Amino acid sequence: MRQIAVIGAGITGITTAYALNEKGYDVTVIDRQRYAAMETSFANGGQLSASNAEVWNSWSTVLKGIKWMFTPDAPLLMNPLPSWHKYSWMAEFLANIPNYKANTVETTRLAIQARNYMFEIAARENIDFNHVTRGILHIYRDKVGYDAAAKVSELYAEGGLERRPVTPSEIRAIEPTLHGSYYGGFFTPSDSTGDIHKFTRGLADACRRKGVRFINEASVDSVTHTGKGQAGTGVEIALTIVPDAEDARPVRETLAFDGVVVCAGVGSRALAAQLGDRVNVYPVKGYSITVMLDDEQSQAGAPWVSLLDDQTKIVTSRLGKDRFRVAGTAEFNGENRDIRADRIRPLTDWVRKLFPDVNTDRAVPWAGLRPMMPDLMPRVAAGAKPGVFYNTGHGHLGWTLSCATAQIIAGTVASAMPVETPRPALRIAAE
Ligand SMILES: Cc1cc2nc3c(=O)[nH]c(=O)nc-3n(C[C@H](O)[C@H](O)[C@H](O)COP(=O)(O)OP(=O)(O)OC[C@H]3O[C@@H](n4cnc5c(N)ncnc54)[C@H](O)[C@@H]3O)c2cc1C
């Protein structure tokens, strides 16, 4: 049986492993963390949102970004110190502005496709991930923002998504706990929310039951294409396994596989470079708080309908009766995972203002790095060398898109290196 390594046990890696296992491959997942979903797939905004499929490559985003750079508490923060990676990424981001419409429509299609796979898998594998199917409501405080969103709705409609405009009184009816005054909104009943960490862990358990191997606490130091396999496939992966015991020494190992799928989030760029590919993922940091709804007043005062507040770029998800997730911020500051108090505070303040009945005395802060491509489109393709594949770079929408991209990459692997190696034709010697 063909042996495939999947590097990364976040949402993209685990959905990929599951899809490859279904196709009959012998799959091994490698991750530097002890458990699945411990990096960016840990505590994100929770939205399964085709209604957030708009790519960021537009002049209006650029102009807003410049304004936000000089505004404290703004949704965007950029460390202006020069870095070749950051500025070359930004140049590519600008170069992709002409692709804004096509990429937004394509992302919408992908997001709709992903839903069907995800709900089917969750039901089949009996995964409880606090899935809430009450739709996503986008809210706008002024006419300018609302009118711009109406144009985006046209692109979403091209991609097959229906989202309807709603008046301020409809906003109140859709989510009665929401305070504040709004110009209008857009509601997408078919969108939903859920806990990415619980889903990924549940799916990792399902993979294990089906025979997928996991090598955890193993950092991939290098990936080398050997070409020793059939039709020039074959890779060697050098690992450092850090054992549990404090006094134990790290173990170095090199393992051989027929192929590899790189799903390493913000680590994908470095691994791709070793394989001769350019996957220009930049780490765009975001923050979340998970507000523990310990008392009845907080539980009644927190929304069940998921929100996206356009002005602050804050998103929310209700994760069951007693947890409320609030996320936002795009920070361009390299591979820096610090949780900054001054970036967490706007999230807590937002909850206090819009949901005053919610007690925020127990809010768990978190920061994660979105693996962002400059065109905001995930890289779901074969690499330059046989047996090398990528399913990575999902940026702000990895939770929404992964179940679709996993199917796509598993299909790509299956056509490039079929599970069953075709047997050489039998030669019958002439008598
Ligand atoms: C604040 C915030 C809010 C968000 N909100 C939403 C949302 O509402 N909806 C949505 O759809 N998306 C959202 N996202 C985006 C989504 O969370 C990400 O796109 C997704 O989690 C990325 O998954 P991944 O598998 O690519 O990366 P990860 O989850 O980071 O997984 C990559 C894995 O690779 C491993 N790895 C990397 N390098 C190596 C190496 N050298 N050796 C071994 N292991 C390695 C890491 O340990 C990690 O486990 C949000 C992101 C953030 C930060």
Instruction: Give tens-digit pLDDT for 225-253.
Output: 999 988 999 999 999 998 777 777 889 99
In a domain, 426, yes or no: no
Ligand 1, atom 44: closest residue by C-alpha:
31
With beta carbons less than 8 A apart as the criterion, state whether 185 and 135 touch.
Answer: no
CA 40 to ligand 1 center in whole angstroms: 3
Residue 203 has pLDDT above 50, yes or no: yes
The residue-averaged pLDDT of 95-113 equals 98
In a domain, 422, yes or no: no
Q: Using CA atoms, how far apart are residues 19 and 114, in angstroms rounded to an integer?
A: 13
pLDDT at residue 81, rounded to an integer: 85
Q: Which domain holds residue 204?
A: 3-416
Measured CA to CA in angstroms, residue 262 lies from 7, 395, 409, 430 at distances of 5, 15, 11, 49
Residue 422 has pLDDT above 90, yes or no: no
Q: Using CA atoms, how far apart are residues 317 and 290, in angstroms rounded to an integer?
A: 9
In a domain, 427, yes or no: no
The number of folded domains in the chain is: 1
In a domain, 424, yes or no: no
> Atom of ligand 1 at shortest distance to CA of 284?
53
pLDDT at residue 427, rounded to an integer: 53
Percent of the chain having pLDDT more than 70? 97
Instruction: Give tens-digit pLDDT for 25-52.
Output: 999 999 999 999 999 999 999 999 999 9
Give the distance, in angstroms, between the CA of residue 273 and the centroid of all CA atoms in the same chain: 22
What's the sign of the alpha-carbon dihedral 291, 202, 55, 367?
A: positive
Q: Using CA atoms, how far apart are residues 37 and 13, in angstroms rounded to an integer?
A: 9
Residue 431 has pLDDT above 80, yes or no: no
In a domain, 431, yes or no: no
In a domain, 423, yes or no: no
Instruction: Give tens-digit pLDDT for 253-296.
Output: 999 999 999 999 999 999 999 999 999 999 999 999 999 999 99
DSSP labels, 24-74: T-EEEEE-SSSSSS-STTSS---EE-GGG---S-SHHHHHHHHHHHTSTT-
Q: Using CA atoms, how far apart are residues 391 and 383, in angstroms rounded to an integer?
A: 10
In a domain, 213, yes or no: yes
pLDDT at residue 202, rounded to an integer: 98
pLDDT at residue 145, rounded to an integer: 96
CA atoms within 13 A on the CB side of 248: 9
- H-only helix segments in 125-231: 143-158, 168-174, 196-209
The H-or-E segment that residue 252 falls in is strand 251-257
**Does ligand 1 come within 6 angstroms of the Cβ of 371?**
yes
CA 393 to ligand 1 center in whole angstroms: 9
Q: Using CA atoms, how far apart are residues 261 and 275, in angstroms rounded to an integer?
A: 11
> Atom of ligand 1 at shortest distance to CA of 285?
53
In a domain, 178, yes or no: yes
Instruction: Give tens-digit pLDDT for 162-195.
Output: 999 999 999 999 999 999 999 999 999 999 999 9
Burial zone of 329 (CB within 10 Å; 0-12 exposed, 13-18 middle, 19+ buried): buried
326: domain CATH number? 3.50.50.60
